[in-house]
Amino acid sequence: MIRRRTALSFSAATVLVAAPLLTGCGSTPHPGAAAVVGKERITVSQLQSQVADVREAQRSSPEGAQLLAGSAQLGQDTLVRLIQYRIIEQAGRDNGVEVTRRELQERRGQVERVLGGADAVEERFLAAGIAPGQIDRELSVGLVRSRLEDKLGKARTGEVLMKTSDSLRVDVNPRYGTWDAKRGTARAALEPWLRPAAAPGAEQPA
């Protein structure tokens, strides 16, 4: 079953490719951490590694110059996505929603069929600031989000994600801004809690 509204869910431009400032709660310094989500640290080195993987893939792409020019805020966009991943995954665990490896593989196959093959999928995600090795987690989180909505409804899911964000007390290194638990994102959103965005060429979330 293809749910195209979440086909490449969670970032496509995350893409939070416009994220100016993360606003909100959290200002405690955490040496070596880009952010702390609950008891889990997202270290600066982990963030830099993710960004480096994207940059390497972008430079290898035929559209490399364009991709590099269009992702000037890749570090902050990537951090926002990593924080969102953890919030959605925790909300899934709290509500009995999980994704098996087999389900993820099936999802990957569906997306490849929709977009025209593995290479096309990688290019679409790369345009969203997601390296080939990061695609599976993106898809997995998208499935969790989709299933939360199926189980709880869209409005209730937004409330749950906001509550989860509050309970995890997201704390962002001031270098990257601060976190807005109500919006769950760095850019102005049209809805209370930004849902995973669709990748270019896929349908936008309803």
Please report, for residues 6, 31, 35, 124, 140, the alpha-carbon distance to residue 117 in angstroms, rounded to integers and kept in the order given. 18, 42, 35, 11, 19
Scanning the structure block, which residue is given the tokens 């939070």? 16
Distances 48 to 45, 78, 140, 144, 172 between C-alpha atoms, Å: 5, 9, 22, 26, 15
Residue found by looking up tokens 């990957």 in the block = 108
Backbone angles phi, psi at 68, to 5 degrees: -65, -40
The tens digit of pLDDT for each residue in 115-132 reads 999 999 999 999 889 999
Q: Of 33-42, 119-128, 191-200, which gets the smallest average pLDDT? A: 191-200
**pLDDT given at position 164:** 94
Q: What is the Cα–Cα distance from 1 to 82, expressed in whole angstroms?
A: 26
The yes-or-no verdict on residue 51 having pLDDT over 70 is: yes
Query: What's the pLDDT band for 19 if we cut at 50, 70, 90?
Result: very low
Buried b (16+ CB within 10 A) or exposed e, 72-107: ebbbbbbbbbbbbbbbbbbbbeebebebeeeeeeeb
Task: Decide if 199 contacts 127 (C-beta within 8 A).
Answer: yes
Is 200:192 a contact under the CB 8 Å cutoff? no
pLDDT at 156 over 50: yes
Distance of CA 62 to the CA centre of its chain: 25
Q: What is the mean pLDDT of residues 29-43?
A: 87
Confidence of residue 191 (pLDDT cuts 50, 70, 90): very low
Average pLDDT, integer, range 134-141: 96
Helix (H, G, I), strand (E, B) or coil at 150: helix
The arithmetic mean of pLDDT across residues 180-206, rounded, is 48
Average pLDDT, the chain: 78
The distance from CA 95 to its chain's CA centroid, rounded to whole angstroms, is 20
Q: Is the pLDDT of residue 30 over 70?
A: no
Mean pLDDT, residues 153-172:
92
Identify the band that residue 93 occupies on the pLDDT scale cut at 50, 70 and 90: very high
Whether the predicted pLDDT of 9 surpasses 50: no
Whether 50 shows a pLDDT value over 50: the answer reads: yes
Structure confidence by residue, pLDDT tens digits, 53-87: 999 988 887 776 777 766 668 888 899 999 999 99
pLDDT > 70 in the chain, percent: 72
Whether 35 shows a pLDDT value over 80: the answer reads yes
Question: Which of 28-32, 91-95, 178-182 bottoms out in mean pLDDT, i.e. has the lowest?
Answer: 28-32
pLDDT score recorded for residue 104: 96
